Amino acid sequence: MSSTTSPLDWLMSTQNRGIQPGLQRMQRLLAALGNPQQKLRCLHVAGTNGKGSVSAFAESVLRASGHRTGLYTSPHLVDFSERIRIDGENANDDAVGEGILRIREVTEGWGAEEQPTFFELVTALAFDLFERQNCGVVVLETGLGGRLDATNTAPKLACAITPIALDHMEWLGGSLREIAKEKAGILRPGVPAVTAPQEPEVGALLAAVAEQKRVPLTTILEPLPPGINLGLAGSHQRMNAALALGLIRAAGFNPAPEAVSKGLGEVSWPGRFQRIPMGKGELILDGAHNLHAARQLASTWGEEYGTRRCTLIFGALTDKDPAALLRELIPIARKVILTPVCSPRGCDPFELERKMEGEFLSAKVSIHIFHTLSHALREAFLSSENTTEAQQGPVLLAGSLFLVGEALSLASGGRAVPRTQ
């Protein structure tokens, strides 16, 4: 690291190492740091959709119960320290910098093939900070899959598996069964686990793996009733909250009713139907970065706004099948604005327009392209101001968490920084 390179800049530069499944590098790195993960009590969450929300609900209830908590999630939206939260607050910048320096020091001189990936480095950093900050209980969201995910090196009190769908097929397999097998890899012998309702083939596989490993596995069948207030919008969040409570109880915690109410009601999870006032209007941010999430977003829109249609700002990554995502959202839009995502993997909006032209016409949806998100936002709110109240729904931005992060950065006066993970 040069004298002019900050610790965080060095860490972010390691994204070019890409994704390299396997636990050997992570295990070596943790050993070099003194195995901080061995002192942690962890709740581990895997799945395709909802795992971030489940993790956020679980951490919020545990914190409301008086526990000193750690929460590890990815990706970050604006600030790197969002990934590592201690007692509900982003990790301190100085502590993050010191932790990165420790990691940089212990990996100095390792060969190129031995160097940990970006996600492995960040996960080890989180374990180190959680241990040094004396977190009593830690909630871990898996990054990719489960079996070979860096988070799977941690000891566990209990595990949760959210609904499993087709995603990251280039890494996890081309079928639901193959993907489910990778995510079931977080299960440990004798460690209790809970799962959301799954597709029949997924449920059967999880049951078989649980039986083989002697894992007490419970399926959470009922969402929380409407009378319980949640801090996150959408009926699907009631199942996520129920799964989070099941996970907490499987881990041996018994939160008081008032802690449950406080934790569920005050939970915050940016980028998931997040409302932001913008001038006289409102901007709603939702990652909706895979097919299941896009369908869930369309459903939540209907629950919140009925037949009112949005001005949709859309951008996605090329490996997320942007046309399929957009196809799910066209029915709730009156106007679509395509814009690039600030990532090397971002989809070309002009190519997407050509691919979708016939569908835009048949749905009677106008289509526009802007090269920057700031221009797209300006156009979206200008057109909203010129629309009658009866027609007008809020501006909705969706398709990628990277795009959501750029919008949040712009809203706070910052700028987007391209990243891949």
Domain definitions of the chain by residue range:
7-266, 274-411
Contact 114, 121 (CB under 8 A): no
For the domain 7-266, what is the CATH superfamily, name and number? Mur-like, catalytic domain (3.40.1190.10)
Q: pLDDT in tens for each of the 421 residues of the chain?
A: 555 679 999 999 998 887 787 899 999 999 999 999 999 999 999 999 899 999 999 999 999 999 999 999 998 998 999 999 999 999 999 999 999 999 999 999 898 888 999 999 999 999 999 999 999 999 999 998 889 999 999 999 999 999 998 765 555 667 888 899 999 999 999 999 999 999 999 999 999 999 999 999 999 999 999 889 999 999 999 999 999 999 999 999 999 999 999 999 999 889 999 999 887 788 999 999 889 899 999 999 999 999 999 999 999 999 889 999 999 999 999 999 999 998 888 899 999 999 988 888 888 888 999 999 999 999 898 766 555 555 567 899 999 999 999 999 888 766 555 555 5
HSE (side-chain half, CA atoms, 13 Å) at 242? 18
- CATH level 3 topology of 274-411: Protein-Tyrosine Phosphatase; Chain A (3.90.190)
Q: What is the value of pTM for the model shown?
A: 0.91
